[in-house]
Structure 1
Amino acid sequence: MDAAALDRLADSIHHAGRQLTLVITGGGTESIGWLLRVPGGSRSLLEAVVPYSSAALTNYLGAQPEQYCSEATSRVMAMAAFERARRLAPESATLLAAVGCTASLMSDRPKRGAHRAHVAWQTAGLTASASLELVKGARTRKEEERLVAELVLCAAAEGVGVPAPWDSLELVEQERIERRACRAPEEWQALLLGTRQTAREHDERHRSGLVVFPGAFHPRHTGHRQMAEVAERLTGQGAQHEISIANVDKPTLDYLEMEARQAQFGGDEPVWFTRAPRFIDKAKVFPGATFVVGADTIERIAALRYYDGDAAARDAAIGELAAAGARFLVFGRTVEGRFQGLADMSLPPALLSLCQEVPAEMFRQDISSTELRRRSADESDRN
């Protein structure tokens, strides 16, 4: 795009009647300057942040991303920026847009990986992304930076609801922009904005006395399926899977991520999305529930580090769980070939009294979602 076209695009963003936050790392920062060189920036731009180092990006997100330059990380950045926008303009949630961009461009030393850019935009009703792998050697660093800045401005335009000139981007023959989007149903939007605490595809009225299997399911694996099957045999009830979009130590899930995680379950496997990151929150959402958990999870509930070392606070939290009628069906683990169950854990008696152990002969599974994601990332790097 020429300078006049970029000026017109920036002007249309300023006059869209929405407010915007940007977070950019690795490339594309020229977009900030372009927005501010056109009059009207104070009308549309709430904040622009450039956490350029790995440490700065980790600090901004509140957790270390699995990869610093990926489509998923651009979405996490956009969601973090959207939540920041909500804090800056709390009365304007439905009129906010956020853009996250992460890029790996030409450097002063050769790069083994591809030159690439991922940009995502988040609104109250939409998560979307655009990814571009640049042909190495086709441009100077300055030209790569300009192209990525134009990508960011197109994403910003999409976010605020004005036409984005994607076709005007000057790509070489082998380059293609890969785009994804998920427009959220109303109940997901309400969940993100905090006006409701649960969202389920089917009937939500009955939330008492359920068997609830909470987890990230990122991804769902054979161990998860086996745990659900065993829980159903032991309780005589169907397992209800629960995914909290808000987490204590992880970024909030976006709509594309919610869509992907829900797609792992069959139509006869109920999935609840909630805003219940802690078990105290889950127990309030699902009174009288039996929660299906692993040994690591039940130990975290008892760990004083989650209560700032305050045993009284920990015991009070366990008391709240008991008062809500919460129970725990606990699956043990195998460490160095030896099965560890409740008897091997140092749990407070009050918490132990809420637990039922799954017999070792009914379940042994040592795979983890974290390990599966690591293997997938390693395979991607090799390819």
Structure 2
Amino acid sequence: MKDALDRLIAGELPFILVGRDDFPEKAILLSGSFNPLHAGHEGLLLAAEKVAEREGVLELSVLNVDKPPLNIVEVERRLLQLKGRYTAVLTCAPTFAEKADLLPGVWFAMGYDTAIRLLSPEYHDDVPAMLSRFRELDVRFAVAGRLHGGRFQGLGNIEIPAGFEDLFIPIPEELFREDISSTALRSQ
């Protein structure tokens, strides 16, 4: 794994697929740090597979927008909990725009809070241009509601720029709701 990870970081490999030989033709990725993998991740991936009718893959980026890079020991520790259970893809793509360029046609599963960041000008200089690029790449987003600000909020609570609503697919609360976070689990 170390040699492949070194090559990934050096830009010699676009990604590393773990758990199968070929990337699914119709995939939906759940990007995360998986520290630890928990019922929220698993339930969200399962619900996203159902609404998107795509095969679920977990994506772990060695580089992250808000966190330090992962070292080989940490990558292997996080992958170990997925072994035999999930297909995973390792990337060095910290943003959804970079992930989409790397894996055109892939769809993403995410929670309300991540969708808010995706559409925030604080994270992206030109949100409409980014959304246009997602459309060109045939990228979509399945969005699950989350407990946010003391109440459950979903895709209907997000202001999506006009003309881009079709890029977002709601995951109904009846299909998935898990009020849990990795941060809360680690603090227990």
TM, length-normalised to structure 2: 0.90
Q: Match of 1:95?
A: none
Within a 5 Å distance, the mapping from 1:98-177 to structure 2 comes to none
Higher relative contact order (CA 8 A, sep 6+): 2
Unaligned runs of 5+ in 2: none
Shift of 1:239: 0.7
Shift of 1:192: 2.2
Aligned length, in residue pairs:
188
Structure 1 residues 275 and 193, CA gap change in structure 2 (3 angstroms) = same
Q: Match of 2:62?
A: 245
Tell me, what secondary structure is at the counterpart of 1:305? Answer: coil
Shift of 1:217: 0.9
1:278 paired residue among 90, 95, 98 = 95
Aligned 8 A contact 1:334 1:366 in 2: yes
Shift of 1:202: 4.6
Q: Match of 2:116?
A: 299
Q: Choose 204-213 or 244-253, whichever is displaced more.
A: 204-213
Shift of 1:335: 4.2
TM, length-normalised to structure 1: 0.46
Give the Cα–Cα distance (whole angstroms) in 2 for the partners of residues 330 and 231 of structure 1: 8
Tell me, what secondary structure is at the counterpart of 2:59? Answer: strand
Q: Match of 1:191?
A: 8
Structure 1 residues 319 and 374, CA gap change in structure 2 (3 angstroms) = same
Q: Match of 1:357?
A: 170
Within a 5 Å distance, the mapping from 1:1-383 to structure 2 comes to 184-203=1-20, 205-206=22-23, 208-307=25-124, 310=125, 313-335=126-148, 338-375=151-188
Q: CA RMSD in A?
A: 1.9
Give the Cα–Cα distance (whole angstroms) in 1 for the partners of residues 19 and 177 of structure 2: 32
Shift of 1:268: 4.0
User: Identity rate of aligned residues, in percent?
Assistant: 34
Q: Which amino acid aligns with 1:353?
A: D
Shift of 1:266: 3.6
Instruction: Give a deviation string over 1:152-192, Cα, whole Å, max 9, x none.
Output: xxxxxxxxxxxxxxxxxxxxxxxxxxxxxxxx442212012
Aligned 8 A contact 1:208 1:286 in 2: no
Unaligned runs of 5+ in 1: 1-183, 376-383
Give the Cα–Cα distance (whole angstroms) in 2 for the partners of residues 341 and 260 of structure 1: 32
Tell me, what secondary structure is at the counterpart of 1:196? Answer: coil
Give the Cα–Cα distance (whole angstroms) in 1 for the partners of residues 23 and 38 of structure 2: 27
Shift of 1:207: 5.7
Give the Cα–Cα distance (whole angstroms) in 1 for the partners of residues 76 and 42 of structure 2: 19
